[in-house]
Amino acid sequence: MQIPALDGKPPRFYQLALQQDLLSGWNLIREWGQLGLAGRIKRDHFPDWDSALDALLRVRDTQLKRGYKVVFMRGMESTG
């Protein structure tokens, strides 16, 4: 997600990703900051896919309400 440059401020980004860990849990990885600069990273662990996905969707919805726009999205690939 991204907020475009406004009033001379550089664009801001917010990236969300789910990553399976080695112990059958899932991590929600969030990275945010200004484009062109080092961002901040936060990882939250969840015991299962459903709770991790619910958390990702809540964070996404919060950021959309703050003015971020989705500029790229990649979902799970079909296994069928």
Q: How far apart are the C-alpha atoms of 22 and 9, rounded to whole Å? A: 40
2-65: CATH architecture: Single Sheet (2.20)
- pTM higher than 0.85: no
pLDDT digits (tens, 9 = 90+) for 28-77: 999 999 888 888 999 999 999 999 999 999 999 999 998 888 877 666 55
Q: What pLDDT does residue 78 have?
A: 43
pLDDT of residue 3: 80
The rounded Cα 18 to chain-centroid distance in angstroms is 8
Which residue would you say has higher pLDDT here, 80 or 60? 60
Q: Is 7 helix (H, G, I), strand (E, B) or coil?
A: coil
Residue 80 pLDDT class (50, 70, 90 cuts): very low
Question: Domain locations in the chain?
Answer: 2-65
Phi, psi of 21 (to 5 degrees): -95, 180
